Structure 1
Amino acid sequence: MSITKPNNKFLLIFILVIAIQQISSFIIDQLNFENDHYMLLIQQIILIFLLGIAVKKFGKTKLSQIGIYSWQNWSKKNKWILLIVTPIVIMIFSFTFFSRTEILINHSELFAIGSIILLREFLYGFYQEFLYRGILQTELVKRWGVWIGITVSNLVFTFGPEHFHFYKSNLVGFAFIFCLGLLFSFLYYRFKNLITIGIWHGIGNVFIDGLGILISMAILN
């Protein structure tokens, strides 16, 4: 079952969670915990938890209505898509970032902290899909239609606080994020399954950002 009526509370949830994310990140920086990966993992778990609670309690919406539901309620098509495409996604990223993976393998001392970093990046990908596709895109599509809703939500995703701080004037970086976000947006709209899109986004984060962090740590060591 999908949502058909506009819900102003969804927009409020989006704004409030973004604010909480930014404030909590600022506090972590001020307390010099920005390199404490356990703290960053805890922050990510809390944000996802808050999103789920906000949607159910404040937004009065079942998580299944935005594409988060138990495996037994998945359609056969969605199950096969996850099981077939996910290994392909992993292979593509593994091939593309083989040099990063190779360096990590040669630095076994990073495995312990690496697992925390990679888990955090994976959850961050799911969080982004939950927030920008599950919340923002769902609401804007109801208000403005598919094309405008997806485009605007993806522009916010691309140029908003999630990426602007990292890419700034890097137009290539923005173009990559926009195109990838657009792909996720249409896949989410087509299959109505936030978990699958969140997993794929999480895998991308693991290889692009997570391994990048570990490579920096390996170089410093």
Structure 2
Amino acid sequence: MERDGRHRSLLVDSALAHLLRFEAPLAPAYGDAVGRRMVVAFLAVGIGLFFALRFGLGALSVRGLPAANLCFVVALLGAFLLAQTAFVRAPMATAGLRRFADWTRRERLYVFQVIPLAAVVFAIVFRGHLTALLEQRGPVGFVLFSVLTGLVWGFVQELLYRGWLQTELTRRFGAVAGLLAANVVFTLGPLHLDYLAGPGGVRWAGLLAVFGIGLFFGFLYRRSGNVWIPAVLHGLWPLNMS
């Protein structure tokens, strides 16, 4: 009887996790000083360093090369970790980076059930893209310059736009306004300038797709308060891999 009760409880928690009804939704509890530093850190890393790195790689004529892409995303990740520790001066959990030991059971169930499924679905849907990358780079290059770079790049975007920006905007303006405002910046900001100022003009379909995907990631972060979850899903997105 006790075992049946645990089994039913596990099934209920799994169902609730898939409905995104997590036990600890995003609820920023830090003060104004930390919030101001978080915004400054976002502007410095997410915009200032982002453009500085792009300019530097372009000046060296290596922008777009696989090794340069990996260095680019690793530099942004390192800058986030350094800024959160030395400038924002707040625990990583304030930006959604909670220790695994602090995850709730529903969060763990969601990750262990959804992430493998998403990886399989992405591999099937984008098999042409992934096969082309594998043939172009070989197994080692594919893992290092496509899979790893894509994972880190998705992770960095979620840390900057959800972990920093959405968290602070939620604290200031509430859950709905914070989510929407952060997602507008994510969609129309420096990450997707090619959709706004490309040679063919504004690519509205692409921007709508980005907004929709970002809305899901933002909602997932809002409901869980755990940036690891959207970060891993974002990192698995095959179109991050180039």
CA distance in 1, matches of 2:128, 2:65: 26
Moved more, 164-173 or 20-29: 164-173
CA deviation map 1:158-205 (0-9, x unaligned): 01000122454111100010011011001101111111211000001x
CA distance in 2, matches of 1:109, 1:54: 34
CA deviation map 1:82-103 (0-9, x unaligned): 1001012112212221222344
Match of 1:9 in 2: 37
Normalising by structure 2, we get a TM-score of 0.80
CA deviation map 1:123-157 (0-9, x unaligned): 01000000000000011111111111111110000
Moved more, 42-51 or 16-25: 42-51
**Structure 2 counterpart of 1:188, one-letter code:** Y
1:133 to 149, 157, 162: 162
2:213 to 162, 180, 185: 180
Percent identity over the alignment?
25
Contact 1:167-1:173 at 8 Å conserved across structures: no
Contact 2:28-2:170 at 8 Å conserved across structures: no
Match of 1:189 in 2: 222
Normalising by structure 1, we get a TM-score of 0.87
For 1:148-167, list aligned pairs within 5 A: 148-166=177-195
Q: How many residues align?
A: 208
Shift of 1:25: 1.2
Aligned with 1:163: secondary structure? helix
CA distance in 1, matches of 2:217, 2:181: 14
**Are 2:116 and 1:83 aligned?**
no
Contact 1:67-1:193 at 8 Å conserved across structures: yes
Stretches of structure 1 that go unaligned for 5 or more consecutive residues are 214-221
- Closer/same/farther in 2, CA of residues 75 and 161 from structure 1, 3 Å limit: same
**Structure 1 counterpart of 2:103, one-letter code:** W
Shift of 1:104: 4.5
**Are 2:208 and 1:208 aligned?**
no
